[in-house]
Structure 1
Amino acid sequence: MGQHVLLNSVEHRGLRVHAGHGARLGDDVMGALTFPDEFRNVQAHYPIVFRREPAGGFLPLVLFGLQEGCNLFLDGDRWDATYVPLSVQRQPFLIGVAGGERLVHVDLDHPRVRDAGSDGALLFDAEGASSEHLERIRSVLLALHEGVDATPAFVAALQRLELLESFFLDVQLEDGSLNRLAGFHTINEERLGALDGATLERLARDNHLLPIYMVLASMSRMRDLIERTNRRRAASR
């Protein structure tokens, strides 16, 4: 669950945060949350899929690997892509809302958090003013918060038009092993193509049409995940 506390310059004056990447920093994950306004950036590197939630809705995710606990874009302490999703960039911070105000919280149990005197980026200067790193994080959190807030309307449009369909991907890797990616949904391209002009116009007016096409374009990145998996397994033999 973590230890989420309100960030403040009195208690956390000396707190540092590791801003790099690596498995030890919690980055070795199969995927991460994304949102429609981010689709244009992420589709160039990662597949975008949808996961059904217990309450019945769907969440858009970017995939970094084909199995849990495997991020194929991690190369030691380097992230092998020019764009890192905001939900990864924001770690170990999150937004809490109190009285209508958005406040920055930090997970003190997150592996990125360092004590005073350790390596890592400071969050406050000697006078208690926010550091450049913290200001950047605030911008990331704001964009992420606004993007996530806008996601339900996008997903509702997809569900109303029955554009989401489940899929699975069977992969035979170069080492001969068989692997199946399942449990996710994507856009049904045939149903999308059958929509009438008025419906497409409404989707465009509501800023939903471009994200839909970004999802479709992103599915070509599945081939990259397969190739990365082959290279990683070959290197480990």
Structure 2
Amino acid sequence: MARHAQLNNIDHRDLRVVTERGAAWGDDVMSALTFPGEFRNLQACYPIVFQKAADGSFQPVALLGFQTGQNLFLDERGWDALYLPLAIERQPFLIGLSVEGEPMMHIDLDHPRVGKTHGEPLFRTHGGTTEFLDRMASTLQALHEGLQAVPGFVDALLRHDLLESFVLDITLDDGAQHRLAGFYTINEERLSRLDGEALAALHVEGHLEAIYMAIASLSRFRDLIERVRRAQGHA
């Protein structure tokens, strides 16, 4: 159970946050929320796909595994990728609203990263914030602002009918099978059929680069499949 609290240097002056990466610290997740402005960094490491929320809206995610609780980028050394998604990096911090309705930095006090004996301190002896907390505040702000661009980006994709569902079946050498379903990708063929006016509009709106980054990221599925094989001794 999450227990969120608005961060302050009185109640939380002794808190520390573990910065190691591993399942014990809550990193055993199969995907991470993302936003168009992060696609360029993500596409070198992870497939970018879209999932449908309960309210029917679409959200882009970086795919880390093929099933719930599976993160193929975790090993005994930590996180095995050059770029860490911001939605992962910002844990255990989040944006919450103050009494006045203003966005403020919050912390999940029940997150496994949070404690008082191990990890990075949040506040200095005399109450100032540490460099670590300042960096987390910047990370959280970038994520918060980036996610606000998602609805407009998704609306553009839907306006041009560019999202399609897909199923990925994986058969390992010993016959073991895995299936990934319930996600959506950008239809490259439909994109190629858009006329110049539509492409120009997507460019002016700032969506075109992110579209191509998401398409390019799909080549990373090969890496995910190889990671499954290695994890199960099929390399």
Quickly name the TM-score band, shorter chain normalised. over 0.9
1:169 aligns with 2:143: no
Name the residue aligned to 2:86.
86
Question: AA paired with 1:135?
Answer: D
Q: Following superposition of structure 1 onto structure 2, how do residues 63-102 of structure 1 map, counting pairs within 5 Å?
A: 63-98=63-98, 99=100, 101-102=102-103
SS at 1:174 equivalent: coil
Native 8 Å contact 2:6 2:105 kept in 1: yes
Question: AA paired with 1:222?
Answer: F
Name the residue aligned to 1:222.
221
Report deviation, 1:20. 1.3
Name the residue aligned to 2:186.
187
Matched residues in 2 for 1:209 and 1:57: separation? 20
Deviations 1:7-35 (A, max 9, x none): 00001001000011010000011111010
Question: AA paired with 2:168?
Answer: L
Matched residues in 2 for 1:208 and 1:166: separation? 20
Native 8 Å contact 1:20 1:77 kept in 2: no
Native 8 Å contact 2:172 2:234 kept in 1: no
Matched residues in 1 for 2:173 and 2:86: separation? 33
Segment drifting more, 203-212 vs 91-100: 91-100
Deviations 1:168-218 (A, max 9, x none): 001101232111110000001111011010110010011100000011100
Matched residues in 2 for 1:36 and 1:221: separation? 17
Matched residues in 2 for 1:216 and 1:85: separation? 18
1:112 aligns with 2:113: yes
Matched residues in 1 for 2:76 and 2:85: separation? 18
SS at 1:88 equivalent: helix
Report deviation, 1:76. 2.2
Deviations 1:68-87 (A, max 9, x none): 11101001251000100000
Deviations 1:131-179 (A, max 9, x none): 0000000000110000001110000100111100000001101232111
What are the ranges of 5 or more consecutive residues in structure 1 without an aligned counterpart?
none
What is the TM-score when the length of structure 2 is the normalising length? 0.97
1:130 aligns with 2:129: yes
Q: Which runs of 4+ in 1 moved over 4 A?
A: none
Name the residue aligned to 1:40.
40
Question: AA paired with 1:80?
Answer: D
Name the residue aligned to 2:55.
55
Report deviation, 1:96. 1.3
Native 8 Å contact 1:173 1:226 kept in 2: no
Matched residues in 2 for 1:89 and 1:20: separation? 10
Name the residue aligned to 1:153.
152
SS at 1:234 equivalent: coil
Report deviation, 1:100. 5.3
Matched residues in 2 for 1:174 and 1:16: separation? 45
Question: AA paired with 1:121?
Answer: E
Question: AA paired with 1:6?
Answer: Q
Native 8 Å contact 1:164 1:188 kept in 2: yes
Report deviation, 1:119. 1.4
Segment drifting more, 121-130 vs 174-183: 174-183
Segment drifting more, 38-47 vs 63-72: 63-72
Matched residues in 1 for 2:181 and 2:74: separation? 22
1:142 aligns with 2:141: yes
1:25 aligns with 2:25: yes
Matched residues in 1 for 2:169 and 2:234: separation? 22
What are the ranges of 5 or more consecutive residues in structure 2 without an aligned counterpart?
none
Q: Between the two proteins, what is the percent identity of the paired residues?
A: 56
RMSD across aligned positions (CA): 1.3
What is the TM-score when the length of structure 1 is the normalising length? 0.96
